C-alpha cells in the first residue's frame, strides 16, 4: 500500500538512499533538506521526489513544513528522522555552540518532527517512525560527546514513543548504522579510514542502500509487530 513518507536529511547520503528505497517500495516521498540547494534540486529532478526545505532544529519551521507537506501531498504515515550534523571536539575544547548545534539538530529534531505527525497517526490508526541513530551512540566515540549523547538519546526516545503508539498501530524503531560509504566518511583521512575498515569484521564499509532497505522493511505494513527495537547495521563492528 502506498503511503506518504517524510524523510529528514533526505536528499544526501544515507537519507537520499532512504528516500529512494521508500520510493521504490511504492510510497510518495517528501525529502526534507536544510542546505545544499543545488544538490537537493538536482536530486529532485533526477528522482522525481519532492523536496522541501526547513531546519529540523527549529520547532516552528517543522510545524510549518509538515503542514505544507500535508497540504501538498497528504498527511505523512511514515516519518524517517535521519537529519544530523557533527561538530567534533574533545570535551575540554568543545564550545557551547558545538554542543547545542548537535543536540538540537540530532536529538531535538526527534521531538520537533515526531510531534507534528503523531496525532494524525493516532487518529488514522497507522504510523511508522524510524529514527536513525549511530554506532557511536551505542559505543561512544572520542571527540564526540555531543554526537554520541544525541544518538544515544534517540534510543531512549524511540523506546518511550514506541510504548505510547503501540495500541494505535504506530511502530517506532531505530537503526544504528556503522561506517557507510558516504561523503561524510569520505572526508576521513585515508590512513584513519583503513584502520576503521580493518575493525569491521565483514571487511568493508556499509552502503547507503543497505540502510535504505532496512528502513523500507521496518515501515512495511507487515512489520507491525516490530517496535521499540534498535537494529545495528554495522558489519559486526559493534554488538550490543
**Confidence (pLDDT) at 47:** 98
Domain count, the chain: 1
Grid coordinates belonging to 77: 504515515
Residue 192 within a domain? no
Q: Which of 59, 147, 179, 238 is catalytic?
A: 147
* Residue 29 belongs to a domain: yes
Does 93 map to a domain? yes
Position 59 scores a pLDDT of 98
Can you spell out the DSSP letters for 83-150? --------GGG--HHHHHHHIIIIIHHHHHHHHHHHHHHHHHT-EEEEEE--HHHHH--TT-HHHHHH
Domain range for 42: 4-180+209-233
> No. of H helices and E strands in the chain?
10, 7
The answer to whether residue 87 sits within a structural domain is yes
Find the CATH number of the domain harbouring 38: 3.40.50.720
For the chain, 240 residues long, give each residue's pLDDT as a single digit of tens. Answer: 899 999 999 999 999 999 999 999 999 999 999 999 999 999 999 999 999 999 999 999 999 999 999 999 999 999 999 999 999 999 999 999 999 999 999 999 999 999 999 999 999 999 999 999 999 999 999 999 999 999 999 999 999 999 999 999 999 999 999 999 988 788 888 998 999 999 999 999 999 999 999 999 999 999 999 999 999 999 999 998
Is residue 121 situated within a structural domain?
yes
- Whether the predicted model's global pTM rises above the 0.85 cut: yes
Residue 199 within any structural domain of the chain: no
Residue 238 annotated in active site: no
Tell me whether residue 200 is in a domain.
no
C-alpha cell at 80: 524517517
Position 202 in a domain: no
* CA atoms of 14 and 206, how far apart (whole Å): 10
3-state secondary structure of 207: coil
Amino acid at each position: 500500500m502506498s503511503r506518504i513518507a517524510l524523510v529528514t536529511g533526505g536528499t544526501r547520503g544515507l537519507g537520499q538512499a532512504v528516500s529512494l528505497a521508500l520510493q521504490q517500495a511504492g510510497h510518495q516521498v517528501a525529502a526534507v533538506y536544510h542546505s545544499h540547494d543545488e544538490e537537493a534540486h538536482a536530486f529532485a529532478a533526477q528522482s522525481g521526489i519532492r523536496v522541501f526545505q526547513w531546519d529540523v532544529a527549529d520547532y516552528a519551521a517543522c510545524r510549518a513544513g509538515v503542514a505544507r507537506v500535508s497540504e501538498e501531498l497528504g498527511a505523512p504515515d511514515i516519518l524517517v528522522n535521519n537529519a544530523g550534523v557533527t561538530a567534533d571536539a574533545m570535551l575540554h575544547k568543545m564550545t557551547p555552540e558545538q554542543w547545542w548545534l548537535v543536540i538540537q539538530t540530532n536529538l531535538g529534531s526527534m521531538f520537533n518532527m515526531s510531534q507534528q505527525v503523531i496525532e494524525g497517526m493516532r487518529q488514522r490508526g497507522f504510523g511508522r517512525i524510524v529514527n536513525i541513530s549511530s554506532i557511536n551512540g551505542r559505543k561512544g566515540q572520542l571527540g564526540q560527546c555531543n554526537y554520541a549523547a544525541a544518538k544515544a538519546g534517540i534510543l531512549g526516545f524511540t523506546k518511550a514513543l514506541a510504548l505510547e503508539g503501540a495500541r494505535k498501530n504506530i511502530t517506532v524503531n531505530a537503526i544504528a548504522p556503522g561506517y557507510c560509504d558516504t561523503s561524510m566518511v569520505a572526508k576521513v583521512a585515508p590512513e584513519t579510514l583503513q584502520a576503521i575498515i580493518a575493525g569491521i569484521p565483514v571487511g568493508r564499509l556499509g552502503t547507503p542502500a543497505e540502510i535504505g532497505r532496512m528502513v523500507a522493511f521496518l515501515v512495511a505494513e507487515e512489520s507491525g509487530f516490530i517496535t521499540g527495537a534498535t537494529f545495528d547495521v554495522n558489519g559486526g563492528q559493534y554488538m550490543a
